[in-house]
Structures are given as C-alpha cells and as structure tokens.
Chains A and B, each alone.
Chain A
Amino acid sequence: MVSPETLSAPAVQPAVECRSIRKSFPGVVALDDVSLSIAQGEIHALLGQNGAGKSTLVKILTGVYQADAGQIFIDGKEVRLRDVREAEAKGIAIVHQDQQLIAQFDVVSNALLGNEIVRMGGLLDRKTMRLRVQEALDRVQAEFSPNALVRDLSVAQRAQVAIAAALLRNPTALILDEPTASLSDKEAEHLFEIIRSLRAQGVTIIYISHYLDEVLGLVDRISVLRDGRLVATTPAAGVSRGDIVKMIVGREVSQLYPKEEVPIGSPLLEVRGLAQGSALRGVDLTVRRGEILGIAGLVGAGRSELALTLMGALKRDAGTVSIDGRPSNPSDPRVANEQGFALIPEDRRQEGLIADLPVRENLTLSNIARWATFGLLNPRLEAGAARELVDRLAIQPPSIKTLARNLSGGNQQKVVVGRWLTGDSRVFLFDEPTTGVDVGSKIEIYRQMVELARSGAAVIFISSDFEEISAMCDRTVVMRRGRINKVIDDQAQATPEALLYWASGSAAPETAEAAATQAARSPMQAVLDTMFSRWSTIAGMLLTVAVIATLAPQFVGLGNIFDVLKQGSVLAFIALGLTVVLIAGGFDMSAGAASQFAANVAAGTLIGGFGSAAAIGLGGSLGLLIGVINAGLILFLRIPAFVATLGMMFVIMGATLLYNGGQALTLSDAPGFFFLGQGYVGPVPFVFILLVAFTFVLHVILKETRLGLRMYAVGQNAAAAALRGVGLKQYAFASCALGGLVLGLAGVFLASYSYGASALATGIDFLISALAATFLGSTISRAGELNVIGTVVAAIFLASLSNGLILIGVSSQALPGIQGIVLVLSISLGLVRKRSIGQILIF
C-alpha cells in the first residue's frame, strides 16, 4: 500500500506503463506509438473521441488484443498479456460499462464467481466468502446485504458490486470504463465519493469517461488520445474543460459535407416533456419541415431512447408528441410507421438488417403491403420498386439479390434507409447512421438526409460524431443524462468543440429534477413481485390440496399419503434428472426416453440373471452415456440442444424397441430388486427415502460446491461467466452427464416400481410430467431458478393432484391434459414481466 505522501507527485515506479504501443487493423492504425504511464495510487483519466483509440488501448491492457509493437510494464516488470485471464492474474481488473453480472445470483456468488473460496472436496466456504465480500462491499460503501439478489439491485448498486468484485482480485490497477454512463447525477456523485475513497486506500484507477466536468473534479492526471496518438498527459489541476475539449477535438474539418440549404417550413414534429424511465427526463423538441435537427450526445445521454420512444418501441411515462398537429402515441413501431415515423436504428446489424435475407426483401419489408392486394404480392412491381431504390441509393453491387450480410457497412446502412423511402414517412430518425461506414457511403447517407429534407420531411440526426452534426444540421440540441442540455439555434455556433463542451458537462441549470426520483421505486417493486410469484405457487399448491381433501376426505389418510409419495417418487426422480440437465445443458427432449430405455435395460439385465447390482450399474451407466452423447452433440457438433436431444429421443426410442423386441419385459420373483421401488421401511416407502437422499446429495452438489455454482452461472448468463473465466463447455458437460446419470437410475427405479418395463417407447409421456414438475418447482425458489428441492416438491404435488382428482372422480384420462395446463401455467408465472415472443433456437 502506498502512503498518502507519495500521492501528490507521480511515484517513482509507475503502476502500469505502456511504451510505444502500436496496433493496426486492416486499413486503420488504431494506436500509433502510444506511451503512457500510470502512477501508483492515482486516478488517471483516459480521454478521447470515439475512434481515438481509447478502447483499443484498454483491450490491449486487458489482454483482449495483442499490441503489434511496444512493451507493457506492471509494477516495473515487463509483461505479456495474451488473454483476459492472464491480464487479470498480472493485476489489471476492469469494470465494464454494462456490468456483466448474473441476475439470479446473490452478491456473494457474483462477486466471487471464478475465484470461489472452497474447502475440502470443492465445498464452498460460504462463511469466508461472505466475510470477504462484505469487506469489499464496505470498501465501496455499499449499503445492501451481500445476500441480496443482483436482479433486485439498482443500476448504481450493481456498479458497486462490479467494483467490489474487481477489488477482490487485488488488482494493481483498476480500469473503470464509463462507469457513470447509465447513472443519474446523484448516483454518479455517490460513485465519485467511492472512487475517491478507493484512491485514499491506495488503489490505482484508470478512469474512462466522456463527461469532462466529472473527470476534472475527480482525477489526478489526464491523458488525451486523438486519432490513435497520445496528444498529452497533464495534471488535472489547472486545466479547464475548454482546454481539454481543444485537445480532444483539435483537428481541421477533414472532409467535405454535402450540406445544402433547403427551404424550411412549418413545424412538423413537436415533442413536449417526453419521459421514459431513467433515460429520458422531460425532453422538448420542435422539428420543422425541411429541417435537419442534430441531436448531439454521448453514451448514456438518452439519444437512442428518445428515438425508440418516439417509435413506440419503448413505452413513454409522460409527455406529448404531435406530428403535423395530430397527437401521436404509438403502441409499437408499426403504428409509428403509419403515423409517419421512420427509424434507422443505432445497431445496424442487430436491429436494422435482416442479414440473411436479400437486399430486395430488406428494402420492401416495411411497406410490403403497398405491392400486394389482399395479401397477395405482385412480385414484378415489388422487384421494380426494389431495383429503383438500389439505383437511387447507388447500392453496390447494384443487385437486389445480394444477401444483406454480404454488403459493406455503408451499403447495409443504405438498405436500412431505403426501406423507408417507399412509404409516407415524414419524420426520419437517424440514430448514429455513419458508425463503421466508409467515407464514400457516409456522403451518400448525408445526401439522403438532404434529399429527405428537400422533399419536406423532418430529419432528426443523432450522433456522437460532433463534426458531422456540426456540418450537416440546420439546428442542434445537445443531450445529457436524459435532458436537453443546450439548444443551439444558430448552427454557426455549433462547432464540434461547443458540442463536446455542452455534451460533456452540466452547466445548464437543473430544471426537471422531479423526474429523477422515479427510478427509486423499482427495486421495492421487484422484491414484492418476487415474493408474490414465489409464495403464490406454494399457496396455490396448499389451496389445491385443501380443496381435494375437503372433497375426498380419504385423501389425507396416512395410507393414501404414503401411496402418493410412492407414486410420486419415480416421477420425481425423472424430474430431478431433467432439472440437473436444464441447469446448464440447455434443453433435453430425450429425458423421458432415456429413463424408459434404462428401465428396459435394467429389467433385461435381471431377466438375464445378472442380479440387482448389475441392473443398477447398467441402468445408471446407460443414462450417463446418453447424457455424454447429448453433451457431445450440443457442445462439439454445436447442434442446438432442442434438436440434438430430439434426434436422440428418437434414436433412443428405436433402440428401446430393438432391445425389447416390442415385448414388455415383465419381472417376477425379484424381491431384492422390487424393494427399491416398492419396499417400505416402517410405513415409509423406500423409494421415497431414496428420493430424499438423492435430492439432498444433488442439492449439496448444486448449491454448495464450486461445480454447482458454476453450472448455474453458465446456464443463466454464459457471457458473464466467461468474463470471469468460467467456460461453458465443461460445466454444460457436467450438467448433461450428471443429469443423464440420474435419469438412468430413475429408469432403474421405474423398472422396480412397475415390475419391469412396458413395451411402449413412451419417451414423451414422462417428459411432460418431468417438465411440469421442473418448471413449477422453479417458481418456488427465491430467484425463480431451477432447483432440485422445488422440483421434488412440485413432483409430489403433481402426484397428489393426480391421486386426488381420481379420488374425487375425475377420469384418469384427463390427467395428461391437466399436467399440460400446469406446465403452461407454471411457465407463464415466470413470464409476467418479460413478454418477448416464444422463439427458440432450432438451428
């Protein structure tokens, strides 16, 4: 640790030093001879525009990229950082802008994932883990419990978790990448306090931000990158925001912009007080016909949210919008399109294009009904329209058949723009249209904006490239933290420097602080929701059982209860196996078929005279083998879990029928073996005792060991797990194999319970009960995650339900349908808030 006296001047030996780092990508020199030294215990800001080389430098420091030339020293020793793990081990920790955490985990598990503290046999030492995490949380002044679930925390609290997690690795230097981008002013202020206190504790921090006034108040020294070169490193004291802006921008306008004067008409779009969550806090705008309005803003300013809210893709909380005098409040982009809005989304590949479709279908998608009568297309007219657009936009190659993915970035963007040119759109929202686009295509896109303006449309041009905003717009507003920070009516004043100046700092008097309090409500709401969905399941189960008991009093007789436990146990075993597979293995269609096959093999083994031990051993091994094959198909051939296990299900069903020759394998006179599934210890069915024992062991493996923790981690958020060095493959494999083993043993118990194995290959019948139990069980846990105890409780409940319904006099033929309904209902319980469409991965 560094004593406070050494803080004032740069220490003798820098914590991190880069010498002459060079990195180029095809066609671009991203970093050119950058030398930089970070003193121990300082907060060092790294500044620069998008594309200046900041993120490349960070990626080299964190081992994501390797420099083409140059050296890196950490604590005076030269190091080579070949991958993320190595950079971490050498002492560089990074907290990303969007903290990758596992929402369903508590703070302790999240903070120590990948660095768990274990005792003998891989058992998690929860107590020590908790203590360590609590220490780290104290260092970041966290006020929440280490046992809180991350998904119940606010964005600011998650940032604290992410920083605490980084501190737990005792880094030489901690990189904070845009940590305040999604925080409110107040939350950001709190974070600065935390960062200052970390400096007081001797932590070296590299701070990356676009917000210059925060940087000035926080950091000790500043390094500015521009066009891949280091412009200067300077102490923060005595530098003004204006000075830094000059360093960051400081270049001549590098290209010509095809700006033309177009007559500007009456107001077309009027926005008043538009608010959306914490992203928009009361935005007022007026855009006139023929006008290009620039919206300048940095990451997290709420620019994209503004566009998405106008399109109806985000639900607005307050405010009015009118287009041509008519009020507009679209429920989705389709309605917005009808009202005259057109969006060119920020992320062209993910949100704009349908990459696997040809140019033609991409171009005509939005207004496809225009070339159809009663839904029937006129392909000649439609192709003609597409061809005309390709000509008009000069899309290269000039063909309507090219797949959109094979176009260059600029041409892709032209396709997204062209999509709206065939309709009656009057307000065009361009969200960062020129990122990753070559110069020629940029000019084409600018020309299109001018053309649209000339035709009387209102164009909103959102960008963080302030040069293009400055050159192309008639008027500019600057956004910051969800508000309009500055309106510049005289475009001559909207120089890149001025835009950056306003976008990066507050200065404007705070006006609408009221909106900021809104976000505070949500964590409480989330807790209530969790409580509701969790206890409502149990309450529902108890209520159901009570109703059955009232209607059929014999249901609660001791004899009947033990009968139900016995009936339910075999099903519960299959559900257990399925649960284990689902935790990290994706999906398993073959679960029921695997158990059925194992039951046949166990029965066959006994008939062959090899005894119970062999039957159990073979059944279990068979399940394990099937699990391993499934894992191989999913992980190594990369077949989606659904298809791989579907195929396996059929293969197993065929194999089962080949094995038993279409005959039932009936067992008689195997009392030792029958005891497994039918015996009693006192009044308690032996199979139920087995079930409890198995559940306990599985629960310990899944919840109390490193293996289990990591299986859950990769199942719930593989990307976040990978950032902590927890790879998908081995844990998904463990999930499939362990689950397969349980499924195989379940088959053995099934054979014992039912005097052998039936002739049918009824793979899918067991599957539905097991799925119903698994998903119903997941609604019992705190985080709504799959868990073995919940599964067993749900399986026993389902057995009671079947038993009770039959006692009441409901036909047994109705039971499959009831299970189906329970399955659908238990899934929908977990989906109350999230309503995407139920697409699945089938390729």
Chain B
Amino acid sequence: MQSIAAAKRSPDAFLLDQLRAYGPVIGMLAVLLIFAVLKPSFLSAANIGNVLHQSVILIIMSFGLAVVMAMRGVDLSIAQIADGAGLLAAVLMLHREPLWIVILVPIAFGLIAGLINGLLTAYAGIPAIISTLGMMFVIRSGELLMTNGAEPQILFTLPRGLTRDFLFIGQGSIGPVSALVVLGIVVFVLMMIVTNLTTFARRARAVGGNSRAAYLAGVNVRAVFAGGFVLAGLLSSIAGVALVARTSIAVPRGAEPYLLDAFAAVYLGTLLSRRAEITIWGTLLGGLFITFLGNGLTLLGLGAPHRYALNGGFILLAMAVGALKRNQ
C-alpha cells in the first residue's frame, strides 16, 4: 500500500522528502558556516584539530546515553560517573599508584555504578529518571566527601616522569593525530560493532521497539535493559579518565555540564537518521556539532548561558522535527 503511494509521489513531494531527510544536516552546516563567516579562525586547521580533540570525551559519553535511550531508558548519571571516575584516577595518580590501577579502578567504578543503575531500573523496576538521578547525587556526595569538599586534584604537582604515560592519553599524539582522537575512533568502531553486529544489539533494538513482544519472543528483557546501563557506565568512566588525562586536573562536579551536551548530541543525532532513530552515527555527528557550536560561541565571546539555551533549544527543535518525520 505504502509502496504504491510512494511510486505515485509528485516531484514536489520528492523534494519535500529530500528536504526532510537532509534539511537538518544542511541546517547544522549553515550554523557552522555562520561561525566561519563571523570568525574565519573557526575554520583554521588548528582550531578544527582542537575541536576534534575536545569532542572525543563528549562523544564517548553520548554513545552510552544513546544505547540506553535507544531502549527507552535514560541515564542522568553519565556525567557524574565520568566525573567520579576522573576524580578517582586523579586521586590514585596522586597516591602514586601504578598506571594500570589508575586506569582500571575508575573503569571498574563505572561498571559497578552502571550495574547498580541497571539493577534498580531493570530488575527493581524504578523509572530510569529516578534511579539514575539518585545515582547522580550519591556519586556527587561521594566525590565531595573524598575530596574534602571539592578540592581540585591537580596532577601538575607530580613529577613529570610519573604522569607522562597517563597524560599521554589526553595530551599525546600518535603521528599527526592526537591520541585522544585515536581513542575516539577506536571506541566509535567498537560501538558500531556492538550496536550492529552483536546479539545484544538485536535484542536491545527489540526491547526498545516493543518490550512486551521481545519478552514473549524469549528475549531476557531485564538483562538486556540492564546491560545498556552497564555499557553506559563503562563508556562514561572511560570518558572521565580521558578528560582528566586531557586537563591534568580533576575538580569534583567538573564534568557535569557534559550531561546537557550529551542529551543534545543524542537528540540532534536522531535528526540525521531517516526515521528519527537513535544511532551511533547520528550521535557521533551530533556530538561533533555540539562541540563545534560551543567552540564557535567561545570564539565569538559568548559563554555558557548561550550554550545552555541553544542546546536546550536544539533538543526541543529536534523533537519537534522528529515528530514531523514520524507522523508523515
């Protein structure tokens, strides 16, 4: 029935279709173009390299949120998990623990936090907004207690030799490419595989599409849903460790603003898919756009307020456009 209608569509409708499909991309490019016109330095190779370098942390975090949201969950604790993981890494570093501990302990922390989120949400049935909001505040308290009231953990104070390997993650480069970008590419490729070529991916899509049908078809709905939160916890902790390696400093609550950016990245990402779905590709591009946007605003001398307002506006815009796409 639909296919017949599609075949008969007039050229006008075709154009409208194309506009629906590519309009958001064109819109995003137009925004970036405005920055480029206002500030030519926006498009300089150095600036672009810098933005790519910066964007990796947001993008890794957003991937986790995307996986959870594709199953109709939500994780408000991702930024706080990243924050806590980064802080743990810095504290361990300052205690002069070996590199593998400095990296693996925070990641284990992320996995555990994600697991608790998953248990509360998938097994105890607490709405994801509530359980992850609770987790966010528990971690925040933990951070404040650990750092004696938000004292920054500064890695500059350590001898260079001790921190070199750790800081390489965030500041080093492999050939012409920064190590962080390499990490980002590796995570992206892995996530493409995880969300496309695994049994988890198929089951997660079924849970997101119709959890009752998935349950009756023999999918372990609770385990799959919880798995999304574990993955989000893992990715957030990786992002958190990378963030500290990039900035050499961990301030409690320093990573919190990433929560907003991650939401904006995921929702903007849905605009780039034909049926307004959450995809890893879309999230990647959404994350890049958000970072470029922040950078452009900074170059124009506009700060956090504009970023907040624009990001919030973009979320609403993405939803409104998405509703149009789905209802056509």
- Hey, which bits of chain A sit against chain B, CB under 8 A? 311, 313, 332-334, 336-338, 343, 345, 350-357, 361, 364-366, 368-369, 372, 375-377, 379, 397, 406, 419, 587, 633, 637-640, 642-644, 646-658, 662, 761, 764, 767-768, 771, 775, 811, 813-821, 823-824, 827-828, 831, 834-843
Alpha-carbon separation in the docked complex, A96 to B127 (Å): 31
In the bound complex, how far is the Cα of B219 from the Cα of A644, in angstroms? 31
Q: Which residues of B contact A639 (CB under 8 A)?
A: 316, 319-320, 323
Check B20 for interface membership: any CB of A closer than 8 A: no
Q: Which residues of B are found within 8 Å of A377, using beta-carbon distances?
A: 197-199, 201-202
Binding-face segment, B101-109, B128-136, B157-165, B181-189: B128-136
Near A by CB (< 8 A), chain B positions 185-229 give: 193, 197-203, 205-207, 209-222, 225
The interface residues of chain B lying within 8 Å CB-to-CB of A311 are 216
Q: Which of A364, A637, A658, A814 contacts B319 (CB 8 A)?
A: A637
A768 surroundings in chain B (CB, below 8 A): 133-134, 136-137
Chain B residues near A372 (CB-CB < 8 A): 198-199
B120 to chain A, nearest CB (A): 6
| Known pairs A351-B212, A377-B198 / 12 extra A-B pairs, C-beta < 8 Å | A333-B218, A365-B206, A375-B198, A647-B312, A647-B316, A651-B313, A653-B312, A768-B134, A820-B134, A820-B135, A823-B133, A835-B124
Flag if A376 contacts B217 (CB, 8 Å).
no
- The count of chain B contact residues (Cβ–Cβ below 8 Å) is 83
Q: Interface on chain B toward A: helix, strand, loop, or mixed SS?
A: helix
Bound state CA distance, A839 and B304, in angstroms?
31
Name which residue of chain B comes closest to A653, CB basis. B308
B321 shortest CB reach to chain A, Å: 10
Q: Which residues of B contact A (CB under 8 A)?
A: 1-3, 69, 71-74, 120-131, 133-142, 144-145, 149, 193, 197-203, 205-207, 209-222, 225, 260, 263-264, 267, 275-276, 303-313, 315-316, 319-320, 322-323, 326
Ordered by A's residue number, 5 sampled pairs between the chains whose C-beta atoms are within 8 Å are A406-B2, A651-B313, A662-B304, A820-B137, A837-B207
| Residue contact A658 to B305, C-beta cutoff 8 Å | yes
Contact B206–A361 (Cβ < 8 Å) = yes
Q: Give A478 to B202 CA distance when docked, in angstroms.
A: 39
Contacts of B310 in A (CB 8 A): 654
Instruction: For B326, list chain A residues within 8 Å (CB).
Output: 843
Across the interface, do B209 and A357 meet the contact criterion of CB distance under 8 Å? yes
Instruction: Name the contact of A333 in the complex, choosing from B149, B217, B308, B319 (C-beta under 8 A).
Output: B217
Which residues of chain A come closer than 8 Å to B309, judged between CB atoms?
650-651, 653-655, 658
Asked if A350 and B203 sit within 8 Å, CB to CB, the answer is no
The answer to whether B323 and A823 touch across the interface, beta carbons within 8 angstroms, is: no
Complex CA–CA separation, A725 to B96 (angstroms): 69
Max chain B Cβ within 10 angstroms of own Cβ: one of A357, A638, A655, A820: A820
A820 to B72, CA, bound (A): 22
Cα-based distance from A336 to B316 in the complex (angstroms):
43
A347 to chain B, nearest CB (A): 9
| A764→B137 CA distance, assembly (Å) | 10
**Contact status B215-A313, CB under 8 Å:** yes
In the complex, the answer to whether B71 meets A638 with C-beta atoms within 8 Å is: no
Q: Is the CB of B312 within 8 A of A648?
A: yes
B56 → chain A, closest Cβ, in Å?
Answer: 22
Known contacts A406-B2, A827-B126, A837-B121: A334-B219 contact under CB 8 Å: yes
CA distance A343 to B225 in the complex (A): 22
State in angstroms the CA–CA spacing of A352 and B220 once bound together.
15
Whether the pair A838, B197 counts as a contact (CB closer than 8 A) is no
Expressed in whole angstroms, the minimum distance between the Cβ of B69 and any Cβ of chain A is: 6
5 closest A-B pairs by CB: A654-B309, A817-B141, A650-B312, A654-B308, A820-B137
With the chains together, A638 CA to B327 CA distance in Å?
A: 11
Q: Which residue of B lies closest to A825 (CB)?
A: B134
Q: Are B124 and A637 in contact, with the CB atoms below 8 A?
A: no
**Are B130 and A775 in contact, with the CB atoms below 8 A?**
yes
- Please give me the residue from chain A that is nearest to B327 by CB atom: A638
Taken together as a complex, chains A and B put the C-alpha atoms of A831 and B199 apart, in Å, by 30
Chain A residue at minimal CB-CB distance from B140: A816
Q: Is the CB of A828 within 8 A of B72?
A: no
Among A332, A364, A658, A840, which residue has its beta carbon within 8 angstroms of that of B128? Answer: A840
Chain A residue at smallest Cβ distance from B72: A839
Q: Tell me, in angstroms, the Cα distance from A345 to B216 when the chains sit together.
A: 8
Chain B residues within 8 Å of A655, by CB: 305, 309
Contact between chains at B129 and A813 (CB < 8 Å) = no
Which residues of the partner chain A approach B307 to less than 8 Å between Cβ atoms? 654
A350 in contact with B136 (CB, 8 Å):
no
A652 to B125, CA, bound (A): 31
**Contact across chains for B203 and A368 when beta carbons are under 8 A apart:** yes
